[in-house]
Amino acid sequence: MRKVQKEAGAVLRKTQEEMKWQADKERRKVEIWKKRDKVILSTKNLIFKKRPTKKLMERYVKLYVIEEVVSKNVVKLNLPALMRIHLVVNMSRVMRYREPERGQKVEKPKPVEVNRVEE
């Protein structure tokens, strides 16, 4: 009976290791965020009235500053009141801002209009 239990335990441990390996393939390393870090906000779940099609929209909008780190995957951003979205967002909705490389051509984005007010 003990032999069967040992074999079953070994099979379970092997299966757990395989499941962990499969789950970890899609995980990213957690970035360390600090107050005043610069980030850009994803447009994935934002609604824009003046954009004709979602396909041609920008993926990220504007540069924002982290006001507070709530937890390792949630931050509070310093957003304008006109955006009408919650200030606390998940890290999957923001991306770290990278300064343009020296010599790289920088195009200024068009202003974003929210509720008929330009930002």
Per-residue pLDDT at 102 = 84
**pLDDT greater than 80 at residue 19:** yes
Query: Average pLDDT in the 58-78 region?
Result: 87
**pLDDT greater than 70 at residue 56:** yes
Q: Which residue type, as a one-letter code, is found at position 54? A: K
Per-residue pLDDT at 21 = 93
**pLDDT greater than 90 at residue 17:** yes
Res. 29 pLDDT band, cuts 50 70 90? confident
For the beta carbon of residue 66, count every other beta carbon within 10 angstroms. 20
pTM score, two decimals? Answer: 0.59
Match 């390792």 to its residue by tokens: 72
Helix (H, G, I), strand (E, B) or coil at 37: coil
Res. 1 pLDDT band, cuts 50 70 90? confident
Least Cα distance to 113 among 48, 52, 56 occurs for: 48
**pLDDT greater than 70 at residue 117:** no
**pLDDT greater than 60 at residue 11:** yes
pLDDT tens digits for 74-113?
Answer: 899 988 887 788 889 888 888 888 887 888 887 777 777 7
Helix (H, G, I), strand (E, B) or coil at 114: strand
Q: How far apart are CA 59 and CA 106, in angstroms?
A: 17
7 exposure class (CB count in 10 Å sphere: 0-12, 13-18, 19+): exposed
Per-residue pLDDT at 118 = 58
